[in-house]
Amino acid sequence: MTVLSRLRAALEDFGQLVLFGGETLAWAARPPWRWELLVAQMAAIGVGSTLIVAVTGLFSGMVLALQGNYALGQFGAQGYTGGFVAVSLTRELAPVFTALMITGRSGSAISTELGTMRVTEQIDAMETMAVSPVQYLAVPRVAASLVMFPVLTVVFGAVGYLGAYLIGIQVSQIPPAPFIDHTRSMVEVRDLMHGLSKSLVFGAVVSLICCYRGYAAHGGARGVGEGTTRAVVMSSIAILVFDYLMTFISIGG
């Protein structure tokens, strides 16, 4: 394939993804609303990912405490470690790492499940039964992601800060009072909003990409595997690109 035709195929694919997003939005606004499916997806995406998100959060927080103490200690400013960790977690690490972890765990599962349903004609079958597969399959997964990405981001941040506190106080011997005081003075509501709005955007983007890649799968088991690989790669890149864009919009160049 020439570079030009590959570019064209990629653009077409992107266009299809955008259309799929529009279709999902349109179907989300129409009854019937299947609350039981939403709850099931929230459990699958959210509850299932809680442990891995918490573990990742714990270690990120602990590492940040060590690094913060090391870097800030060079200026005799160890006391600021708490604030440094809290701002990093809230604005950046919690939303990004959480989204990456959910992509690996639940995004791949979404893509594989929908892909298998596509190649075994289960999606066609649903369509012939007067049920929109986009409404039945994609809408609950996207809606559940919009709820669970921010919730898990909060879990990541809270566990991360806890880990940082333990390491900072117990290992790095930072006095607790400045650790907490600087956290209070450095973290503002807009930092929280910034982090949570990122996680909302990541939730929408990741779930749409993963649903679409499954939905568009073709060519048997191999096609399903390829779809899942592309879903995870595209989602991970999209998370980093949107992270940059939103950070740029928030604080400028």
Cα–Cα distance, 96 to 159 (Å, whole number): 15
- Are residues 69 and 172 in contact, defined by beta-carbon separation less than 8 angstroms? yes
Residues 9-38, mask of contacts with another protein (x by CB under 8 A): ---------------------x-x------
Candidate list 16, 18, 43, 124; residue touching another protein; CB under 8 A: 124
The DSSP code sequence of 95-161 is: HHHHHHHHIIIIIHHHHHHHHHHHHTTHHHHHHHTT--HIIIIIHHHHHHHHHHHHHHHHHHHHHHH
- Choices 50-58, 91-99, 117-125, 160-168 (CB under 8 A): range interacting with another protein: 117-125
Q: How many residues bind another protein (CB under 8 A)?
A: 17
- Choices 130-138, 149-157, 198-206, 242-250 (CB under 8 A): range interacting with another protein: 130-138
**CA nearest neighbour of 93 among 9, 5, 163:** 163
Candidate list 1, 4, 130, 189; residue touching another protein; CB under 8 A: 130
Cα–Cα distance, 246 to 238 (Å, whole number): 12
- Choices 60-68, 80-88, 122-130, 139-147 (CB under 8 A): range interacting with another protein: 122-130
CB of 149 to another protein, least distance (A): 23
- Choices 4-12, 120-128, 202-210, 242-250 (CB under 8 A): range interacting with another protein: 120-128
Q: Which residue has the tokens 């079958």?
A: 125
Q: Between residues 23 and 181, which has the closer beta carbon with respect to another protein? A: 23
Cα–Cα distance, 66 to 194 (Å, whole number): 25
**Which token pair is 76?**
């005799």
Candidate list 5, 74, 128, 173; residue touching another protein; CB under 8 A: 128
Q: Which residue has the tokens 């939403």?
A: 38
Cα–Cα distance, 85 to 66 (Å, whole number): 10
CB of 126 to another protein, least distance (A): 8
Cα–Cα distance, 19 to 51 (Å, whole number): 34
Phi, psi of 205, deg, nearest 5: -65, -50
- Choices 51-59, 66-74, 119-127, 207-215 (CB under 8 A): range interacting with another protein: 119-127
Q: Does 132 bind another protein (CB under 8 A)?
A: yes
Q: Does 120 bind another protein (CB under 8 A)?
A: yes
**Which token pair is 30?**
């129409």
Q: Between residues 121 and 188, which has the closer beta carbon with respect to another protein? A: 121
Query: Do you find a cis peptide bond into 32, omega within 30 degrees of 0?
Result: yes
CB of 51 to another protein, least distance (A): 23
Q: Does 122 bind another protein (CB under 8 A)?
A: yes
Candidate list 39, 125, 177, 240; residue touching another protein; CB under 8 A: 125
**Can you give the binding site for another protein, defined by CB under 8 A?**
30, 32, 113, 116-117, 120-122, 124-132
